[in-house]
Amino acid sequence: MKRSASTRVDHLQIAIPAGSEEAARAFYGALLALREVPKPPELRARGGLWFQSGAMAVHLGVDPDFRPATKGHVAFACAEYAALLARLRAAAIAIRTDSIPLQGRAHCYVDDPFGNRIELIDDAPDAANVDTSAEPTIVAVATPPGHGAIAIVRLSGAEARAIAAKLVAGVALEPRRATRVALVDESGRPIDDALALAFPAPHSATGEDVVEFHLHGAPVLAREVVRAAIACGARQAGPGEFTRRAFLAGKIDLDGVGAIGDLIAAETASAARAALANLGGGLLAKVTAMRATLREPLEQLAASIDFPDEVEEPARAPLAETLHALEGELAQLQRDGEVGRLLREGVSLAIVGPPNAGKSSLLNALLGEERAIVSELPGTTRDSIEERFVVDGVAVRAVDTAGIRAHADRIEALGIERSERAFESARILLLVLDASIPLSPSAESLLARSEGRARIVFFNKADLDTSAVRAVSGISVIGSTRWPKTLHELRAAIAQLGWGTERPDLERAHLAFGEQFDAVARALDALRSACAALDAHEPLDLVGNDLRLVDAALAQLSPAEASEEMLASIFARFCIGK
């Protein structure tokens, strides 16, 4: 065998345009955190920079005829991959991720300031530094309930494989390969057929041992698997717990955590887009502007308190004007947040009505597919089921209830109780009444009970007869579930009660996360309190105290540190000092 002519790679050279050393230093030095080494004096005149990455020298050479290298590239293995990505993101550098791991390691591509392609590879040591052995093994349904053909139950933790072994009755699971299994519960009773997938640590979503079961979409089956797993020693996962573990294992960075939760929960493409838009900084710009508005009066107040002999306190009238304007903006942000919440959580709708009025047929028509069991016998829908359909990009969570009847058999009692709960809690009520026969006492009672609620009264079966139709409050729709026009009218009515006539605007839906929404609500509360204190002629410090709470709440939406900034600005604006 011929001996290789070279013994090793000595260095890499990346071309940069003339005079761009500072930009290069900012990228390779500050962002990628490569260590800069001085160029030998004899080579300095040519420009360029030298860096060191581990044992490898990286030279940036000036090319007068510079053209970016878009295919050939240097790949850096990064020990702090997640932190680096966060840094790059903060510097608004586009990251092109690649979902196919490179020999089990995450990697992505970025461009340097000159368009040179750079690859970054996660070089974290395999056994993640986090000691996960003491974490209890958790289990939960990973797919949204009542939705989709497949439900996924996920187990994560050191015991995941042992617990799974009991549920699959000892069938061997090959890593990362779907195996068909017959699931059984803790006492060996069969549950369902399923696919099982094992992801050994650390190459799993959470960095722990993970086992997933893919079941038929019936929620009750998924719940049963979770129950059995708990009986075998797992613990029900808390909200966000999988994400938390993934985060602790360095699988995702914190900036992504909130948005990932939303992406998982996003029921529709619109919500997914709003969650993404939120990462883009539209909210940040708004919050920054609001804080800037607050800063001047806050500074003047702070300066007048700490230097009372030298700085006048802010005048009340202009302050009141500023605050009321800000209140308007915050209220708008809160309304925008409602849009975000609507897109995230959807709007709840209860379909109620006497037996056999056509509730299940209506739901099926709205869903566009057969879901609920339809029968000519009254009372066949034994349980309320939740299904989702989309209107104007918003998820409508519809609960079809068992008929609310005066005389119900015992089997139906539970269903009726659930219907009652759905009736009480839904944002919108959709009353389905049979227009072809005289209204029954239960229909009359439903009409009376739903008076004053956001309701749609749908007189169904108008293709047969309309003798029972009468004027009622709220929105009335007369038609048939078989008529497309009727379905269209019902959708329009849902939109009108759910979010008004204006279609939810994604551009305005800045508050994608619950915590952000809470922060805005807190800010608005404190601002209203400040306005009230100002109007009641309370001392200005108390007004200022509220305003600082406003600022603190807003600060939670933006990363900047407040107090030092403010002091610096005070000293720049006021000449203070004895």
Partner 1 sequence: MEKMRSDDAGVIVVGGGHAGVEAAHAAAKMGVPTLLLTGDPERICTLPCNPSIGGSAKGQLVREIDALGGAMGVLADSCSLHARFLNESKGPAVRALRQLMDKPSYNRAALRLLQRLPALQIEAAMVEALIVVAGEVRGVRCADGRAFFARHIVLATGTFLGGKLFRGEEVQPGGRYAEAPAIGLSHALHELGFSMQRLKTGTPPRVDRNSVDYGAMRVQEPSATPLLFSRRSEARFVGAQLPCYLIDTNARTHALVRENLHRSPLYGLDLIRGIGPRYCPSIEDKVVKFAHNPTHQLFIEPEGWEEPTLYVGGFSTSLPAEVQIQMLQTLPGMEQCEMLRAGYAVEYDMVAPTELDDTLQTRRIAGLYHCGQLNGTSGYEEAAAQGLLAGANAALAARGREPLRIARSEGYIGVLVDDLVGKGVDEPYRMMTSRAEHRVLLRHDNADRRLTPHGRDIGLVDDEQWTGFCEEIAVLDREIAESERCRLPVREVAGERFQGPPTLAEALRRPQIHIEDLRAWLPEGLGAETGERLEIEIKLEGYVKREEQAVAQAARRERLVIPHDFAYDRVQALSTEAREKLLRQRPRTLGAAARVPGVAPADVAILSLHLQRREERPRGVAP
Handedness of CA 499, 500, 503, 508 (dihedral sign): negative
Helix (H) or strand (E) holding 300: helix 282-306
| Of 13-21, 64-72, 82-90, 500-508: span binding partner 1 (CB under 8 A) | 82-90
340 vs 544, which CB is nearer to partner 1?
Answer: 544
CB under 8 A: which stretch of 4-12, 124-132, 184-192, 211-219 binds partner 1?
Answer: 124-132
Q: Prior bond to 202 cis, omega within 30?
A: yes
Nearer to partner 1, 229 or 302 (CB): 302
Q: How many residues bind partner 1 (CB under 8 A)?
A: 55
Phi, psi of 150 (to 5 degrees): -125, 135
476: which strand partners?
Answer: 457
Q: Which of 312, 505, 541, 565 binds partner 1 (CB under 8 A)?
A: 541
CB of 145 to partner 1, least distance (A): 22
CB of 526 to partner 1, least distance (A): 9
Q: Is residue 165 part of the contact set for partner 1 (CB under 8 A)?
A: no
Instruction: Please pick, from the candidates 18, 269, 305, 315, the single residue that binds partner 1 as defined by CB under 8 A.
Output: 305
| Spatial CA neighbour of 207 closest among 257, 149, 156, 263 | 156
**What is each CA distance from 304 to 54, 300, 536, 572, in whole angstroms?**
54, 6, 21, 14
**Contact between 481 and partner 1 per CB under 8 A:** no
Q: How far is the CB of 266 from partner 1 (least distance, A)?
A: 23
Nearer residue to partner 1 within complex by CB, 107 or 388: 107
If one asks whether residue 551 binds partner 1 (CB under 8 A), the answer comes out as no
| Under rule CB under 8 A, residue 36 binds partner 1 | no
Sole window of 152-160, 309-317, 465-473, 505-513 interacting with partner 1 (rule: CB under 8 A): 309-317
Please state the three-class secondary structure of 83-146 as a single string.
Answer: HHHHHHHHCCCCCEEEEEEECCEEEEEEECCCCCEEEEEECCCCCCCCCCCCCCCEEEECCCCC
Output the six-digit token pair for 354: 């006497």
Of positions 87, 105, 421, 491, contacts partner 1 by CB under 8 A: 87
295, with CB counted inside 10 A (0-12, 13-18, 19+), is middle
Q: CB burial class (10 A; 0-12, 13-18, 19+) of residue 22?
A: exposed
Does the protein bind partner 1 through residue 98 (CB under 8 A)? no
Determine which residue in the list 1, 92, 134, 471 makes contact with partner 1, applying CB under 8 A. 134
Beta-bridge partner residues of 181: 194
Comparison of 247 and 458: residue with beta carbon closer to partner 1: 247
Stretch that binds partner 1, among 57-65, 75-83, 214-222, 473-481 (CB under 8 A): 75-83
**Contact indicator for 357, 434 with CB cutoff of 8 Å:** yes
Using the contact rule CB under 8 A, the part of the chain among 144-152, 240-248, 410-418, 425-433 near partner 1 is: 240-248
Q: Is 571 in the site for partner 1 (CB under 8 A)?
A: yes
Cβ nearer to partner 1, comparing 138 with 363 = 138
- Give the 3-state secondary structure of residue 396: strand
Is 238 a binding residue for partner 1 by CB under 8 A? The answer is: yes
Does 92 bind partner 1 (CB under 8 A)? Our answer is no
Of 83 and 264, the one with the shorter C-beta distance to partner 1 is 83
Q: Which of 553, 560, 552, 517 has its CA nearest to residue 274?
A: 517
73, 115 contact by CB (below 8 A):
no
Quick check: 34 and 28 in contact, CB under 8 A? yes
How large is the greatest C-alpha to C-alpha distance in the chain, in angstroms?
A: 102
Three-state SS for 521?
helix
* Least spacing, CB of residue 578 vs partner 1, in Å: 4
Contacts of 475 (CB under 8 A, 6+ apart): 455, 456, 457, 493, 496, 497
Interface residue with partner 1, options 21, 63, 80, 345 (CB under 8 A): 80
CA 573 – CA 547 distance, rounded (Å): 20
Q: Please tell me whether residue 536 binds partner 1 under the rule CB under 8 A.
A: yes
CA distances from residue 461 to 356, 360, 467, 494 in whole angstroms, order as listed: 11, 13, 11, 20
Helix axes 81-90, 254-265, angle to 10 degrees: 90
Please give the residues from 250 up to 289 whose contact with partner 1 meets the rule CB under 8 A.
250, 253-255
- Angle of helix 219-231 relative to helix 160-167, nearest 10 degrees? 120
Residue 206: CB minimum distance to partner 1, A: 13
Question: Which tokens in the block code for residue 252?
Answer: 């995702």
CB of 250 to partner 1, least distance (A): 5
126 touching partner 1, by CB under 8 A: no
- Closest distance of CB 480 from partner 1, Å: 51
* 308: contact with partner 1 by CB under 8 A: yes
Q: Which stretch binds partner 1 (CB under 8 A): 76-84, 185-193, 366-374, 399-407?
A: 76-84
Interface residue with partner 1, options 6, 7, 103, 129 (CB under 8 A) = 129
- Give the nearest distance from C-beta 238 to partner 1 in angstroms: 7
By C-beta, is 392 or 538 nearer to partner 1? 538
Structure tokens at 278: 């939120």
Instruction: Kindly list the residues in this chain that would bind partner 1 in the complex (CB under 8 A).
Output: 33, 79-80, 82-83, 86-87, 124, 128-129, 134-136, 235, 238, 244, 247-248, 250, 253-255, 302, 304-310, 313, 536-542, 544-545, 548, 552, 556, 559, 561, 563-564, 566-567, 570-571, 575-578
